Chain A
Amino acid sequence: MRISRGLGLAVAAGLLATVAACGGGSSSGGGGDKVELTLLSHYSDGPSKEGLDKMIQEWNKDNPKIQVKAQVVKFDDLLTTMTVRQTGGRGADIVSAYGLWGGQLMKANVVAKVPDDIAKKIKAEYSPAALGAVTTGDTLLGYPTELNTYVLFYNKKILAAAGITKPPTTWAELADAAKKTVKRDAKGNIQVEGLSLIQDGDNKSVHPFLSLLNSAGGKFLGPDGSPQFDNDQGKAALKFEADLAAAKATNPSISPTKQFRSGGVAMAIQAGWWIGSLKTQMKDKYGTDVGVAAIPGPTPGSKGSLAYGFFMGVNERSKHAAEAWKFLTWMNEHKASSGNVTETGKWLADQGLIPPRTADQEEYKKSLADPNMAPIYEAATYAMAEPNQPGAYEAKTALHNAIMGVLTNGASPDDALAQAAKAVKPQ
């Protein structure tokens, strides 16, 4: 009986421990009036982490009663970490998320409504591309942080060696340049890829395609999440890619982030953040070899781009939402010690990103030391914001599979787009 009583106690203690571990809630109150807020983000290393940590330290020093604690994971683990922690009742008070996930996070009651006064200020002070990337329907999800636009990166020396003196301004010129610059060995292996239509990250073929689609005047999804790409513009953009694949001027197995720096890729449709990596990787060669231009459209003068963003919002389940908004407002509005920009704007610009706040953008545009940054900033004025309704992520994957079917299997662009459109579920 003694054993059974002991076991009973152990089981009860185990259950209590489990319940205590599982039901910890989203934030800790701390002692007295002190509040500890957690901030979950993917700013896990390099200047992104250093800059955010610096701002948090500054806040914590001046606000002993509201302490912020950063929690970081790699981008690839961000959504799953958020899912698991939120479901287990351990979600962070402040969540930093990719705009594309915004719809599903909103539908699942993860992100709280932005208070009206803050929402009004954000809508007035941030650029349309940044707002579009972090707004689902009419609902703003939080403070826009990262903003990226897509542009055409090219290797000046490779283009010059092929007799091309200026970056392409139409699809015909782009295809011509890709075909002229591609180089293969006797076995057919590509030594230099003409135009890369792949980027790193999720659904790696979609962003270059959507940039081309935008340059042709097309759209990805409608406001209700219905497919808008299965039309003449979409077919033209995908046919353009299919022709390059058939001519072997593009190859999805080549990663531009690895091979552009060593001269293995002549042109690539990529996001602006790439500038920072290229500068680090290519050092002196960056200045002499790398050029950036707008992504051309089918006709002279047409151009297009895709803008995607991140945002920082407050968790619906946070017990300290007011304190969290207070911190976010300070973080996004206080000025940097040097210059007329906000410290968040500087933090983002230092990483090669476009600050989403219009005033910061204008300030940086006045004194762009790197001419390659100009087309990236310029694209923020015309880029199509990445849709983020519930189901947008799934739709993007369906589109990715359709594009890859064309690029790798030689599928018909019309059939591929029709199949992708069928897989999109408006919500």
Chain B
Amino acid sequence: MTTAVSKAGAGHTVAAPVSRPGKLHREGRAAYLFLSPALLFFCIFLILPFMFAIVLAFSNWGGFDLGTMKWSGIANFKEVLSFDGTFVKPILVNTLLFAFGAVFMATFGSVLVAYCIDRLSFQGFWRVLYFLPVVATVVAIGNVWKMMYQPAGLINAVLNKLGVNSVGFLSDASYALPSVTVVHAWASIGGAVLILTAGLKAIPDMYYEAAEMDGANSWHMFWSITLPLLRPALLFVLITQFIGGLQSFALIIVMTGDGGPVNATNVAAFEMYQRAFKYGAWGTASAMAMVLFVIILAITLLQLWVARRRGEETS
């Protein structure tokens, strides 16, 4: 290997590698060649559909035949963002309530569960137990909870035993969205627990030992050591959970079928699916997708910005 010796400061010599343009160029070409299948995959299944969706958002298209596509300018966005329609309210509001509610419950629950598991024996068993809902299909989870929520289901039977009248968890518009949100949060705790447990394991014991010697109690240790050092893992959990929550719709289809009652559980991704695949309104569906994309991007950037201000490593 050829090196050049240069003076750097008083009496210090630093060996710096000399670039060999020919070799690097070849290596770069090889790297690009090895990357090309993945790049091709992303182009075909991500970039091209994304570009197509942008074109569709400004068009009127009933699906099937590209020859029937007509340019419509910003008409789809006008329709989607109009306060007279249903997309802004209740659908976007439902989407945000669903995502924020599920993220709040899942994050709070997973921190609690991960913290408890970290102090238990047979940690592998507990982690597997909480991870099971992640492995189970959304259809299975949705159907089991749907049965439990029925007027004659398990939850109402317990309420009846306690002297409370049956609640229309999925048929009453005031309860339907919270009922589905709880299930989504419950089902996503397992994945978060796994990440947070890994985060907890990465915290060196010496901090706790030092705090113990200083007389700190469990709460102080949790608040002043665990939570701050868990922030990178928490940030990852928060971002992925938010994105998942904002895009979620499979559970809603399984549990309520049509986003009902009266649009009470209709969320943006479900409405997009309906518009495109049921009504053949691909233009408005794509405009909705763009609006949701911007919202997800804004929320994610906001989370990253807040994390950076608090000094977290986010790159």
Contact = CB atoms under 8 A, between A and B. Distances in A.
Interface string B57-83: 000001111011000000000000000
A393 interface: yes
A394 B166 contact: no
B315 to A, nearest CB: 30
A400 B62 contact: no
Contact of A104 (B33, B44, B84, B279): B279
A104 B67 CA distance: 15
Contact of B280 (A15, A107, A204, A401): A107
Given A87-B64, A110-B64, A401 B263 contact: yes
Interface in B138-182: 150-152, 156, 160, 165-166, 168, 170-173
A89 to B, nearest CB: 10
Contacts of A394: 279, 281
Interface centre among B30, B65, B150, by most A CB within 10 Å?
A: B65
A109 B258 contact: no
Contacts of A202: 258
Contacts of B128: none
A109 B61 CA distance: 11
A228 interface: no
A74 interface: no
B31 to A, nearest CB: 11
Given A397-B274, A400-B258, A409-B173, A108 B280 contact: yes
Contact of B166 (A14, A86, A188): A188
Contacts of A3: 30, 33
A109 B67 contact: yes
A164 B165 CA distance: 31
B65 A408 contact: no
A188 to B, nearest CB: 5
Interface in A254-294: 254
B119 interface: no
B261 interface: yes
Interface residues of B, number: 41
B40 A189 contact: no
Interface string A360-392: 000000000000000000000000000000110
Contacts of B165: 187-189
Contacts of B85: 423
A404 interface: yes
A83 B61 CA distance: 12
A422 interface: yes
Contacts of B37: 7, 10-11, 14
A189 B280 contact: no
A42 to B, nearest CB: 15
B259 to A, nearest CB: 9
A244 B271 CA distance: 30
A214 B305 CA distance: 59
Given A80-B277, A108-B62, A189 B261 contact: no
A354 to B, nearest CB: 26
A321 interface: no
B262 interface: yes
Interface string B16-56: 00000000000001100110110010001000000000000
Interface centre among B40, B64, B65, B276, by most A CB within 10 Å?
A: B64
Nearest to B40: A11
B260 interface: yes
A202 B86 CA distance: 19
Interface in A68-106: 79-80, 83, 86-87, 91, 104-105
A211 B1 CA distance: 88
Question: What size tier do the contact residues of chain A reach?
Answer: 35 or more
B12 interface: no
Contact of A401 (B40, B168, B262): B262
A184 to B, nearest CB: 10
A4 interface: yes
Contacts of A404: 260-262
B220 to A, nearest CB: 48
B309 interface: no
Nearest to B67: A109
B310 interface: no
A3 B32 CA distance: 12
B32 to A, nearest CB: 9
Contact of B151 (A91, A189, A390): A189
B198 to A, nearest CB: 36
Contacts of B151: 189-190, 253-254
Nearest to A86: B64
B84 to A, nearest CB: 7
Contacts of A91: 64
A426 interface: no
A203 interface: yes
B63 A87 contact: yes
A104 B40 contact: no
A227 to B, nearest CB: 15
B7 interface: no
Interface string A201-220: 01110000000000000000
A405 interface: yes
B258 A203 contact: yes
Nearest to B85: A423
A252 interface: yes
Contacts of A165: none
Contact of A7 (B36, B168, B278, B280): B36
Contacts of A400: 258, 260
A204 B36 CA distance: 49
A397 B263 CA distance: 10
Contacts of A18: 44
A187 B280 contact: no
A193 B34 CA distance: 66
Interface of B: 29-30, 33-34, 36-37, 40, 44, 62-65, 67-68, 84-86, 150-152, 156, 160, 165-166, 168, 170-173, 258, 260-263, 274, 276-281
Interface of A: 3-4, 7-8, 10-11, 14-15, 18, 79-80, 83, 86-87, 91, 104-105, 107-110, 187-190, 202-204, 251-254, 316, 390-391, 393-394, 397, 400-401, 404-405, 408-409, 411, 422-423
7 contacts: A4-B29, A4-B33, A14-B37, A86-B63, A105-B64, A108-B63, A404-B262
Given A189-B151, A405-B261, 5 more contacts: A14-B40, A79-B278, A108-B68, A189-B160, A400-B260
- 10 smallest A-B Cβ distances: which pairs? A253-B171, A108-B62, A108-B64, A104-B280, A109-B65, A405-B262, A86-B64, A394-B279, A408-B261, A80-B277
